Chains A and B, each alone.
Chain A
Amino acid sequence: MSVTTTPAPVLAPPLAAPRSRGYWGTVGYRLRHDPVTLFFGALLLMIILSALFAPWLSPFDPYKESIIRRLKVPGYMGHLLGTDELGRDMLSRLLHGGRITLMMGFVPVLVATLVGGGLGILAGLAGGRVNALIMRVMDVFYAFPSVLLAVAISGAMGGGVFNALLALSLVFIPPLCRVAETATTQVRNLDFVDAARATGAKLHLVLWHHVLGNVLGPILVYASGMISVGILLGSGLSFLGLGVKPPEPDWGLMLNTLRQAIYVNPLLAALPGIAIFLTSVSINMVSDGLRSAMDVRL
């Protein structure tokens, strides 16, 4: 009988004491102490809120044209950010454009996470023929470059916001499916899943507590990185005339139409680009911060 009790280290750092926060508590604690993520999180929140409340925030009607007020500099007669090539208020159009642009980022990723992530987890858990079937179908989609695929799908189905969203969703499903499948297959074969099964617990409990938690992390991190890709691709589709149709305001479309104004008023031409840039940078920074906050090993 020589059970050796491991003694507490004498010089234990005081950091070891407040350890009872639980998983989400720890994540929250880390996020609160990460100024970069907080800053970009606030910026992103601001962008989302201003898009959401665009009708109330806009000083002018975004569709109201004026032949005499075309391409005016910021500050001209109450137009805080100037006017575009048809004399419409830039600020109002940017605020309204954010609604569609952000939707292009979030909706396809959400759809692809649910469909692709679900299929991937299923493939990983089932293994064998089900896995082969799902993953080979994904490989077919993988054979096309994603931009080309998005252009081809919306080109074939015609323009419009709904078709663009559908095209982007289809483009995002294969990579998310692959990430989910890889993570699931990896986790499924680890000993702790066997150990959990060996307790005689019901299968859904094992999956819920031991598999899903370890799979969702990589999927969410990857998905959040896709949001900015979605915004860029969506803007690209609008730029090519495959997404949003004029006069609907959209950042990509605005970028396209205003590029002719680059010699007259370069700042105006740059504004939609700046908006796209700020949004994708903040999304990337926030997803990066989330990733490090959610990794318990750090």
Chain B
Amino acid sequence: MSAAPLFLRDPRDVGGPAQPLLDVRDLRKHFPIRGGALQRVVAKVHAVDGVSFSVMKGETLGIVGESGCGKSTLARLLMRLVEPDSGEQVFDGEEVGSARGISVAGLRRQVQMVFQDSASSLNPRMPVQGSVAFGPRAHGMGPAESVALARELLQQVGLNPALFGPRYPHELSGGQKQRVNIARALALRPRMVILDEAVSALDKSVEAQVLNLLRSLKQQMNLTYIFISHDLSVVRWISDRVMVMYLGEVVEIGPAEQIYTAPRHPYTRALLASRPSMDPDHRLEEPPVTGDPPNPVNPPAGCRFHTRCPHAEAVCSARAPRLGLTQGARDHHAACHLHDPASGHSLAMVRH
């Protein structure tokens, strides 16, 4: 498990470094709510509603948003633990689930996930090295060999395999359990790891250790991360690009530094303003959003943020803005009428 030299290309790398590792187009998942004696569908939760983005090879894409904005559903959709209603997902040039592309099982060998709840994501009746070894074992590796690999991985995530390998999950602390979860995610040598609130439940000091671990593992194993969190500071620290979600939609996506220093969408600004400032001189003047996000069962018409937006006008409730390139920045997209000169919004194109 030595660090692969950069010039040595991964044989699984099909399209070369310029091709995105993951390309998602218009992914959609509405969960039906059933009611009444006949269990008919009475409403739908718009959990993920037309999300498109791409992840370049070797980068970390951070995904932020309030609880209930569809971050975790998106993660499960990407792993196909939940079947999407519509949309396409292309992994390194191969469409997932189509006859000519990559199968779901094939995708799962290359994309792995670390769950938020470190306790419930480990089988309580299996020693942790068994949990780590399960993936390789299920793919035909011998019992002794897979346990040896599991112990090697435990070592790599900073757990003494002789001491921790045979233990059961309840004998480990939260941070140790999350290290085991990371080891399990790495057991199949994936190219991409989805970290769904992977450090959110940990103490701050343990969180920092695990974040450092994630960063060094990424270098050693040439990984690509999707890092989902509600902690804006952590996302800024670890991410190359950041995607902001609101009520199942992408409202802004761009390089991390730009998102944090020059946010374009009013929601992003409000989100950033809501976090306690480290430096009184750089305090954002935008007021934080008030109230709760609207019910995703009945999302507002037009722009979904218009009910809480300080710049809302008639056009905002009439038409939904498209995710478009914003002016003066490369690769920085926002879905807001303010940044579309043709939108008819009175403040459109005014510098903010």
Contact between A191 and B115, CB atoms less than 8 A apart: yes
Known contacts A19-B166, A192-B120, A213-B125, A198 near B81 by CB under 8 Å: yes
Q: Of B132-140, B250-258, B290-298, B302-310, which binds chain A?
A: B132-140
Name the interface size band of chain B: 35 or more
Is B55 at the interface (CB under 8 A from chain A)?
no
A197-219: CB near B (< 8 Å → 1, else 0) gives 11111100100011001100100
Q: Please, how many angstroms separate the alpha-carbon atoms of A200 and B111 in the complex?
A: 10
Is A47 at the interface (CB under 8 A from chain B)?
no
Q: Chain A contacts of B163 at CB under 8 A?
A: 8, 16
Is B53 at the interface (CB under 8 A from chain A)?
no
Q: Please, how many angstroms separate the alpha-carbon atoms of A4 and B79 in the complex?
A: 30
B57-68: CB near A (< 8 Å → 1, else 0) gives 000000000000
Contact between A297 and B166, CB atoms less than 8 A apart: no
Name the interface size band of chain A: 20 to 34
Known contacts A3-B213, A190-B120, A201-B138, A195 near B158 by CB under 8 Å: no
Contact between A191 and B117, CB atoms less than 8 A apart: yes
Contact between B134 and A20, CB atoms less than 8 A apart: no
Contact between B212 and A194, CB atoms less than 8 A apart: no
Contact between A5 and B158, CB atoms less than 8 A apart: yes
**Closest CB-CB distance, B72 to chain A, in whole Å?**
11
Q: Please, how many angstroms separate the alpha-carbon atoms of A200 and B166 in the complex?
A: 24
Is A107 at the interface (CB under 8 A from chain B)?
no
Q: Chain A contacts of B138 at CB under 8 A?
A: 199-202, 205
Is A76 at the interface (CB under 8 A from chain B)?
no
Total A-B pairs, Cβ < 8 A? 104
Known contacts A6-B159, A6-B160, A198 near B112 by CB under 8 Å: yes
8 A Cβ contacts from A151-189 to B:
none
Is B188 at the interface (CB under 8 A from chain A)?
yes
Please tell me which one of the listed residues A196, A199, A202 contacts residue B188 in the complex, with CB atoms under 8 A apart: A199
Contact between B135 and A199, CB atoms less than 8 A apart: yes
Q: Chain A contacts of B115 at CB under 8 A?
A: 191, 194-195
Nearest-neighbor residue (CB-CB) of A213 within chain B: B125
Q: Please, how many angstroms separate the alpha-carbon atoms of A192 and B131 in the complex?
A: 9
Identify which of A3, A199, A209, A213 gathers the most chain B CB atoms within 10 Å of its CB.
A199
Known contacts A23-B125, A195-B121, A296-B168, A200 near B109 by CB under 8 Å: yes
Is A1 at the interface (CB under 8 A from chain B)?
yes
Identify which of B104, B107, B139 gathers the most chain A CB atoms within 10 Å of its CB.
B139
Contact between B120 and A2, CB atoms less than 8 A apart: no
**Closest CB-CB distance, A204 to chain B, in whole Å?**
10
Contact between A199 and B131, CB atoms less than 8 A apart: no
Q: Please, how many angstroms separate the alpha-carbon atoms of A6 and B212 in the complex?
A: 14
Please tell me which one of the listed residues A198, A202, A205, A214 contacts residue B125 in the complex, with CB atoms under 8 A apart: A214
Q: Chain A contacts of B108 at CB under 8 A?
A: 198-200
Is B105 at the interface (CB under 8 A from chain A)?
yes
Q: Chain B contacts of A16 at CB under 8 A?
A: 163
**Which A residues fall within an 8 A CB radius of B?**
1-6, 8, 16, 19-20, 23, 190-192, 194-202, 205, 209-210, 213-214, 217, 296-297
**Which B residues fall within an 8 A CB radius of A?**
76, 79, 81, 104-109, 112-113, 115-117, 120-127, 131, 134-135, 138-139, 157-160, 163, 166-168, 170, 176, 181, 184, 187-188, 209, 212-213, 216, 219
